[in-house]
Amino acid sequence: MRVFVLDKNKKTLDPCRPARARILLKQGKAKVLKRYPFTIIMQEKEVENCVTHEHQLKIDPGAKTTGIVIIQGSKVIWGAELTHRGFQIREALTSRRQLRRSRRNRKTRYRQPRFLNRKRSEGWLAPSLMSRVDNILTWTKKLIRLCPIKGISQELVRFDTQKMENPEISGVEYQQGTLYGYEIREYLLEKWNRKCAYCGVDDIPLEIEHIKPKSKGGSDRVSNLTIACKKCNKAKGSQDIENFLSGKPNVLKQILSQSKKPLANAAAVNSTRWKLYNSLKSTGLPIETGSGGLTKYNRCRQNLPKTHWLDAANVGKVDHLYIESYQPLLITAKGHGTRQMCRTNKFGFPTRYVPRYKEVKGFQTGDIVKAIVTKGKKIGTYTGRVATRQTGSFNISTKSGLVQGISHKYCSIIHRKDGYSYSFVLQGMQWP
């Protein structure tokens, strides 16, 4: 992927190739501004009148992971996959609510629940959903400050839940388009992990299969559909699933459980799509929208692999794409910590307290550091996200695992805490 370039006044220039960036850094014409995403700043004034080209930012929102790419003409010059923490937020809020209710049920001093002062603003979204919108908007604004972006493309419709639940819906009852065939197949592929539900085989053509056969009263609702290979689909025929899988009770239990799972991911994407669209409009850039069906059509037409960032590259109108590098930046939302003053056990009683001051020896939890240990049992070089301790002995999360007990004296900061962790993917392996 290319390197972002700013002039001496922090005005955006065209991103350059890594080889060009190394030459500029070696000659002293540029300095490193930030590591993630890698950005250099020029030290000379001759580039102030440099001509820049138009770039398009493309976004493929997802419930768990969002694809982000930057395109110059037909070249994909930068890509990333942003992993959200919406489900973690939901679990944290659920845990806090349970602890609060348990305290109210005990005969201890605690405030009464409030009901009359609760009012939600217009356009309110649950915190777990709003975090997805905020993450995408944060990175959109960040990339606009690093690259001369002139427009944004967003996949606005991913899964059409109304059409999936009731294929016969029409007229006034349904006015959102006709995406049933393409959208429901894509949804089922993701729901069943792109494997045959009966035998588990993958990387072969899969067919839509009715769990309860239509000849015996089965419906076309998405909860009655699964994905199966041609061999299993033909072998099952019009049998009841209980008879077909009588010799595989574990598989039968898993399929019946999986089929009843709610459309949580689809609902998360559909709930946030218009909120995200209106938030992106606040940037002042023109917004292009596309559907999930069009994205898949563009990707399959060019024989590109199924990944989040390549899906983003195919959002909207696409003629032909040239991928410069298949090494996207992997971004994971980690948050900025917690405001709790103490930690509780499962019963809600405080067990340990949190120090008031978050900075220790010039480091904060979440900073990306490089530690060069020269003596002791842990001699070596470690790079990763740091967790600080008041003793000055830190823990570092590296690609090979957690390394504990590294003194702050060996650590140097590579990237300051910003609420995200970073890694790269190279030939199927992740590298920090």
Which residue would you say has higher pLDDT here, 407 or 184?
407
CA terminus-to-terminus distance, the chain: 15
Other CB atoms within 10 Å distance of the CB of residue 36: 17
pLDDT mean over 402-420: 92
CA dist 162 and 173 (Å) reads: 10
Question: Given a cut of 50, is residue 178 above it in pLDDT?
Answer: no
pLDDT for residue 347: 74
Fold of 3-85+127-153+275-333: Nucleotidyltransferase; domain 5 (3.30.420)
Residues whose CB falls within 8 Å of the CB of residue 353, separated by 6 or more in sequence, listed in order: 341, 342, 343
pLDDT for residue 77: 94
pLDDT mean over 138-163: 83
Which range, of 22-31, 135-144, 179-188, 222-231, averages the lowest pLDDT? 179-188
Nearest by Cα to 23 from 42, 6, 37: 42
Which range, of 84-88, 229-233, 339-343, averages the lowest pLDDT? 339-343
Radius of gyration of the chain (CA): 26
The answer to whether 330 and 423 are in contact (CB under 8 A) is: yes
Element (H, E) at 258: helix 249-259
CA dist 285 and 232 (Å) reads: 50
CA dist 68 and 306 (Å) reads: 14
CA dist 184 and 205 (Å) reads: 16
pLDDT for residue 179: 44
- As a CATH number, domain 354-416 is 2.30.30
The answer to whether 52 and 89 are in contact (CB under 8 A) is: no
Split at pLDDT 50, 70, 90, the class of 309 is: very high
Look up the pTM and report it.
0.77
The answer to whether 421 and 386 are in contact (CB under 8 A) is: no
Question: Given a cut of 80, is residue 163 above it in pLDDT?
Answer: no
pLDDT for residue 174: 43
Q: Name, of 167-171, 193-197, 394-398, the range with top average pLDDT.
A: 394-398
The first and second tokens of residue 158, run together, are 């991913």
Question: Given a cut of 80, is residue 222 above it in pLDDT?
Answer: no
3-state SS of the chain: helix, strand, coil percent to 5? 30, 30, 40
pLDDT mean over 273-279: 90
pLDDT for residue 111: 66
DSSP classification of residue 171 = G
pLDDT for residue 187: 74
pLDDT for residue 251: 87
The CATH architecture assigned to 161-262 reads Orthogonal Bundle (1.10)
Which residue would you say has higher pLDDT here, 25 or 340?
25
Question: Given a cut of 70, is residue 262 above it in pLDDT?
Answer: no
Q: What is the DSSP string of 355-393?
A: -S---BTTB-TT-EEEEEE-SSTT-EEEEEEEE--TTSE
207-220 confidence digits (pLDDT tens) = 888 888 888 888 87
pLDDT for residue 367: 92
What's the one-letter identity of residue 277? Y
CA dist 376 and 372 (Å) reads: 12
pLDDT for residue 167: 55
Question: Given a cut of 80, is residue 176 above it in pLDDT?
Answer: no
Which residue would you say has higher pLDDT here, 16 or 427?
16
∠ CA 120-122-128 to the nearest 5 degrees?
A: 65
Split at pLDDT 50, 70, 90, the class of 264 is: low
Which range, of 34-38, 222-226, 297-301, averages the lowest pLDDT? 222-226
> How many helices (H) and strands (E) in the chain?
11, 22
Domain ranges of the chain: 3-85+127-153+275-333, 161-262, 354-416
pLDDT for residue 429: 38
Question: Given a cut of 60, is residue 13 above it in pLDDT?
Answer: yes
pLDDT for residue 158: 58
Cα dist. 291→155, 164, 218, 296, 407 in Å?
5, 16, 30, 9, 51
Q: What is the DSSP string of 74-98?
A: TEEEEEEEEE--HHHHHHHHHHHHH
% of the chain surpassing 90 pLDDT: 38
The answer to whether 388 and 364 are in contact (CB under 8 A) is: yes
Which range, of 208-212, 289-293, 299-303, 422-426, averages the lowest pLDDT? 422-426
pLDDT for residue 159: 54
Q: Which residues pair with 13 in a beta bridge?
A: 5
What are 10-14's contacts with CB under 8 Å, separation 24+? Answer: 10/41, 11/48, 12/52, 12/145, 12/146, 12/147, 12/148, 13/42, 13/47, 13/50, 13/52, 13/148, 14/50, 14/52, 14/53, 14/72, 14/148
Ramachandran bin of 168, using left for φ above 0, alpha for ψ from -120 to 50, beta for the remaining angles: alpha
Split at pLDDT 50, 70, 90, the class of 183 is: low
pLDDT for residue 23: 95
The first and second tokens of residue 216, run together, are 């015996």
CA dist 15 and 33 (Å) reads: 14
